[in-house]
Structure 1
Amino acid sequence: MDVQGRFHDILEAASLLSSSTLPGKVIEMVLNDLSERLGKRARCAFLEGDDLKLRFWAGDHVCPIEGIQIHKDSIVWDAVKKGAAVNLTDPHQTNGYTHSLSAPIKIKAIIPLSYVDPMTQQKKQLGVLIVDSGEAGVPISEEDFQYLQVIGQLISAIIERAKLVEQLMASCSRQESILMETTHNFRNRIVVIAGFSRQIAQMAQGTKLAEKAALLQEEVKELESNLAVFERYMSLKT
């Protein structure tokens, strides 16, 4: 794959990252394009609890892929735990490891996917990108391996963006719920105060407190008016 093609893919993936909120669709597009351009098979597995499961793939896989759980004793899991990309060019590099696919491939590139949480600054493991030549067993070139690591970073960014949007929406929902409850409680208190202020105004007629009682009523009316404006502004009419 030429340098121009690599840059085109990277720019295209970056463009998708900035324009889409559907990470699954973007990952499918990236893998399909990657598979077509490199002439390789590509697949992504993601962490689901304590398991690592294959969810996206492109290219000709001779065995079922969907939902396959990556074996905990596989070299793929080992790479994910270490957080280090590895390019397997010698079949002996997988000696001692267990394969996850029924048709095991020993020559492949393994790119762990992760991102740094902007709030905690902690590294979050997401999953892994795996690319191989299938039964042909052609090693991934060093140039393509470097390119795949960049694509892995972009896929990680796509997932990170989706997670941050999800967190933001959840936070907004919680804040909206708190605001609605607070507004409701505030209005209830104002209604009670307004009732008392009217009673006080009636009882104070003809006394020295009449003027102060009238002022209290005006203040309560101002509170009610301000709350109504606030409710309209926040679209939180109760």
Structure 2
Amino acid sequence: GAATDYLEQSLVSSRIIGDKRGIYSALINLGTAAYYQEDYALARNYFEQVLDAYLTGGIREQEAVCLYKLGQVTMAQGDLLRTRDYFEQSLVFSRSTTTGTLLPETLSNLAIIYLLLHQEALASATLRESVEAAGNFAVSHVQFWPLVAATRMWIIKGKPLQAATWLGLVENHAHPAIKMADIQRVIQAARAECVAALSPEQFAAAWEEGKNLDVDTVIADILREL
């Protein structure tokens, strides 16, 4: 599309004049565009290029972002082991730098990956840390990251009825930013798995129940169950 063409032209121009910051920005944006278009091989190529540049330049905060994006790509590709590695590497940098909401987002995703890899103790500890990290932000949509992760995790644990209830809470009360593509994919996966595991009547009743729940109360319940 026009946006991609513009970014490609920007990348060429930045390389001609030796503008490193412009090169990094264009590569990240091209990778992100390819990811949202589900061209994961191309997205990975762009992110790997910029990661090499960040590693060479020692730009730690951006390394965390790039590693997280690579984890998103490999998660979409179903490569759990590589995803775990990318998210764990991202955490090393995001814990020691100022990366905004990246820390709770990465922890939430990593908790799901650990559970899928049958590392239950790590999954529980990581989700707990995600709740603590999210609590440091006043932005309401960040608070929903651990809840969305828990919804997916409870399905994996064989508790789809509870998960469907939390899904009702998320889909009815989450901040509009929760509709961002990254977390929306996790929500969609949770919904599909709930629908597959429950009868239409069970799902509808649980989902309706979730509309009346309180986020803080649910998070407290989740922490008690970990």
Task: Give the TM-score, by structure 2 length.
Answer: 0.27
Provide the TM-score with structure 1 as the length reference.
0.26
Q: Which has the higher helix share?
A: 2
Greater share of residues in strand: 1
